[in-house]
Amino acid sequence: MPADPADLLRQRGYRVTGQRLAVLRAVSRAPHVTADTVAEAVRAELGAISLQAVYDVLSVLVDVGLVRRIQPAGSPARFEVRVSDNHHHVICRVCGRTADVDCAVGVAPCLTAVDDMGYEIDEAEVIYWGRCPGCRSLTPGTRESTAKGTPVPGNRTAARGRTT
């Protein structure tokens, strides 16, 4: 995150508001956070804010390059402030835990397509799926859902009725 996010907002023609700065602080505190979690954190800091307002602010922060949005298959969008490098993500199919994975090559696009179909490829977005160390240590099949009892987004094997 830049030393002064307020300056970057101004440079891009956006007003600096308390909501924008509070959303940015919430994303900074918890990498790979969902908009719902950001809304809870901002409400605890500022009071009332609608979920739509949080999405609007996140959109602005993505636009100015202060926040990165990732969209894992079958999962709500997640947001992070690690925007200045080429990295990927690993997601646990069982509990949904998400972590950063540095690019194997180090520079974008990181991967080379067999056939670029005439495109000038400048980025590859990779998401690795598996089981985190905590879930691997549990007996297979004991963590097929979150604590709230809902299926974990991206848990393709659980959706088919099998354990991983």
Predicted confidence (pLDDT) at residue 153 exceeds the cutoff of 90: no
Q: Would 20 be classed as within a structural domain? A: yes
pLDDT in tens, 109-143: 667 778 888 998 887 788 889 999 999 998 665 44
pLDDT in tens, 30-40: 989 999 999 99
Say whether pTM exceeds 0.75.
no
pLDDT at residue 104, as a whole number: 72
pLDDT in tens, 58-109: 999 999 889 999 998 888 999 999 888 878 889 999 988 899 888 776 666 6
Predicted confidence (pLDDT) at residue 43 exceeds the cutoff of 60: yes
Question: Running DSSP on this structure, what letter comes out for residue 120?
Answer: -
Residues 93 and 158 placed together within one structural domain of the fold:
yes
- Cα–Cα–Cα angle for 138, 130, 76, rounded to 5 degrees: 105
Domain range for 95? 85-164
Residues 139 and 92 placed together within one structural domain of the fold:
yes
Residues 90 and 160 placed together within one structural domain of the fold:
yes
